[in-house]
Structure 1
Amino acid sequence: MIEPFVRESGNGPTVVCLHASASSSAQWRALTERLSGRFRVLAVDLHGCGRTPGWPGPLPLQLDDETTMLDPVWDRAGARFHLMGHSYGGAVAMHAAIRHVDRVASLLVYEPVMFGLLNKLEPDSMAASEINGVRADTSRFVASGHLDAAAARFGAYWLGDEAWAALTPERQAAMACAMPNVMPQWQAAFAEPPTRIEFGALSMPIQLLGGVCSTAAARAVSRLLADMLPHVFREELPGCGHMAPVTSPERVNPAIERFLATH
Structure 2
Amino acid sequence: MSETASIAEAIDPGLANSRALSPRASRQMIDEPVIHCFHRASPAYGHFIFDCLAPILSLRDVILSGRAKILIPSFFPAWGPRILRAAGFDVASHLKFITKDVAVCPEVILSTAIDSRNCFRPVREICQSLTKLPEAVRPSSRKMIYLTRRNQVTYSDRTISNEDEVVRALVKMGFAIVEPGNLAFEEQVSLFHGADIVVAAHGSAFGNLPFSRPRSTLIDLMPTTYINYWPRRNFGPERWALNLTTFFQLNYLLVFCQSHTVEATTKGASSPIVSTVDIDLLERAVNAAKAFQHPA
TM-score, normalised to structure 2's length?
A: 0.26
State which structure, 1 or 2, has the greater radius of gyration over its C-alpha atoms.
2
User: Relative to total residues, which structure has the larger helix share, 1 or 2?
Assistant: 1
